[in-house]
Structure 1
Amino acid sequence: MSPVLELTHDLIARRSVTPEDAGCLPLIADRLARLGFRIEHLRFGDVDNLWATHGTGGPVLAFLGHTDVVPSGPEEHWATPPFEPTEKGGMLYGRGAADMKGSVAAMVVALERFVAMDPGHAGTVGLLLTSDEEGVALHGVREVVEHFNKTGQRIDHCVVGEPSAKAQLGDLIRVGRRGSLSLTLTVHGIQGHVAYPEKAKNPIHAFAPALAALAAERWDEGNADFPPTSFQVSNINAGTGANNVIPGELIALVNWRFSTASSADGLRARAEAILEARGVDYAAEWHLSGLPFLAAPGGRLRGVVADVCRELCGIDPEQSTGGGTSDGRFIAPMGAEVIELGPVNATIHKVDECVSIADLERLPDLYEAICRRMLT
């Protein structure tokens, strides 16, 4: 069994459902410490984080990943137990195989190879891992970056191991991500009997015209790097369960995925103006989980990662800003160039999550090549 496959097996077998790490980080820290990496265990709240570095000075190239996974869902729905790594038909099955214990293992193996071959390399290479990416992400990389800002730790370039590929390793890299702005909207009404609507105020009826306007709004046109901003309602809840009661309150969960063509403050102001213009009595709780970021065309890391995919995977990668958010949103504001490169994402968060064994065994080669080109 190859080193990357063996380590991925070991990581999958650890039931590290967010925010639990289940011993993944100490395992990795011990391996890297033996090669002279400086190890910092950073625990914030109930979250474990690891920052392992080798070398001195700049540039600082960081690899970023997470050891936590989403819940498996009903285990009886899986063909094989989710926390028992299973090889079948050229695939490795298990929760976290693609998102992202396979990438974490590949990063570790790549760093071991790189440092063993070039212990006096230029600059600094680091590995930043957290057990709080799939959850609320308050005490993971977000808080690590706050710590770095206080201590003066810089990151110049960052490779995130999120599963980026569509059909085969190297066919797509993320060169940026949209921002995410969420709203918990409470619409106030007056509860009453459906037969006496004049004595009540139905929040569903009050919200309906505003919702139609919000859904029809063209928030922006996007730009050369990003698609237009999208607006989605993920949940609406109102009512007592009885068909003869007008509810007194409605709660809606809303999200904008926005590009650099819009700002969070601008979206908020426009949304509130739509609500107020339609006379909605509401309370709004806003949450900005990340701003959009982009690795500029011509950036050194962006060029290196694209070249590595062309040369080692035989494919010219699509350079995309699509998808959801990642912990890269916390690193980019440090002034770092952030690129995401990982395995195929077709089964992430699904029952029977899996990764191609062939892709997994090639992934350390890509990460090691990036190290060599950035730090030699």
Structure 2
Amino acid sequence: METLPSLTHDLVSISSHDDEAAAGEYILTWLREHTNARVSRDDHGNVIARKGHGDDSLALVGHHDVVPPDESQVDADGEYVIEERNGRLYGRGAADMKGCVAAAMLAFRDADPASELVFASFVGEEQGGVGCQAAIEDGFAPDYAVVGEGSTGYSAPGVTDVAVAHKGRRGSTIVAEGAAAHASEPDAGTNAIYRATDAVDVVRDLDFPSTTVLGHEMNGSVAATEIDGGSAWNVIPERCAVTVDERTVPDERAPLDRVEAIDGVSWRVDQDLPPMACGDADFAERVLDAATAAQDATPEHVVKPHATDAGWLAQAGTDCVVVGAAEPGEAHTADESVSLTVVERCRNVYERVAESWPSE
């Protein structure tokens, strides 16, 4: 019988930063060989499997794409470098999030579900959740989901918590238009940089969005992060652009459109990754019970700062929580790794939830 460490090792070794096809094929083949589930890979590359029956469906959700590896994570032949030491597996994608994809695969195989159980591993999460969005557009709509992104180490080091909410991200651009002139005659033109700085003053004075989810306060943020304007030291600039990073919370957005009250200033949204809030307190408690039973420590409901595919699912009507092995600051690093003990813990949590939810 295949072990979780070996399955994790196999998944992490498959290159999937430029093309997810090989990783998707591996997952598809494994599920068909090791389960009697209804397994498919859609036109986008998402792998989805279903078993069991019931009025409600529970999905175990992950993604098998990764960000580009650091040069130290690739050998001379272009293969991913994998190393296991001190109970941790090192390699690109180990933490984010092939370890928990493997955990979900084994939990899906072994669970005797209380209702319909779905396994889903999406493509394109690192490109803004394009695979998840496409699946939703095609009708993917589980009632509940446990998303295997990182939730370990939030309440205390080493504790695998249950995230009941996470922030989203809205990236936008403020564009100020003016009129060029020679810098020796500034009144002959209209300085786009001055208009842009007026817009930045508006951004600076905005209140940060905030809300409460299951008793947990969530605070967003708004910040100007880049500025690009001007063409030469002696030319009044005719254009200036300012990038704004906004960390959003459920049902709240900062009123950035106020900058358009300034002459010559426009505002556009470039990316809007939705936040997530679990709307079913009973489901959140049941998952916390499973997390408590799976470890000696006492996990808590927490709020996660990073956007995940749970945001897209929640926006479409799925009640989500996030439970995963990755720790804060672990993903996307040159020494990315995951604790194999914690990956096994997550497998335990997933299987417990699958067999106990929904309760009769």
Please report the TM-score for the alignment, with normalisation by the length of structure 2.
0.88
2:281 maps to which of 290, 294, 298 = 298
* Structure 1 segments unaligned to the other structure (5+ residues): none
Match of residue 189, structure 1, among 166, 178, 190: 178
Determine the C-alpha separation between the residues in 2 that align with 1:320 and 1:11. 28
Quick check: 1:272 aligned with 2:272?
no
- Report the AA paired with residue 340 of structure 1: V
d(CA) in 2 for partners of 1:206 and 1:13? 51
> Does 1:162 pair with 2:149?
yes
Aligned to 2:304: 322
SS at match of 1:321: strand
Give distance in 2, aligned partners of 1:284 and 1:210: 10
The change in CA–CA distance for 1:68 and 1:76 in structure 2 (over 3 A counts) is: closer
CA-based RMSD: 2.5
Q: CA deviation at 1:317?
A: 2.2
What is the distance in 2 between the residues matched to 1:370 and 1:324?
Answer: 24
SS at match of 1:57: coil
Residue segments in structure 2 that go unaligned for 5+ positions in a row: none
Contact 2:129 2:308 (C-alpha < 8 Å) held by counterparts = no
Matched, 1:130 2:122: yes
Per-residue CA distance 1:163-182 (angstroms, 9 max, x = gap): 12126554422112234333
Q: Which amino acid aligns with 1:216?
A: D
Aligned to 2:195: 206
Structure 1 residues 285 and 84: alpha-carbon distance in aligned structure 2, compared to 1, 3 A threshold: same
Identify the residue that residue 15 of structure 1 maps to in structure 2: 15
Matches within 5 A, 1:47-126: 48-75=45-72, 83-114=80-111, 118=112, 121-126=113-118
Aligned counterparts of 1:62 and 1:76: Cα–Cα separation in 2: 31
Give 2:162's match in structure 1, choosing from 173, 177, 201: 173
Q: Structure 2 CA distance, aligned partners of 1:162 and 1:327?
A: 9
Partner of 1:248: 238
Residues 1:3 and 1:280: Cα distance change in structure 2 (over 3 Å):
farther
SS of match in other structure, 2:51: strand
- Picking from 309, 324, 345, the partner of 2:291 is 309
Taking the aligned partners of 2:341 and 2:222, their CA distance within structure 1 comes to 38
User: How many equivalent residue pairs?
Assistant: 351
Q: CA separation in 2, counterparts of 1:361 and 1:179?
A: 28
Distance 1:76 1:336 in 2: 36
Contact 1:77 1:351 in 2 (8 A): no
Question: Normalization by structure 1: what TM-score?
Answer: 0.85
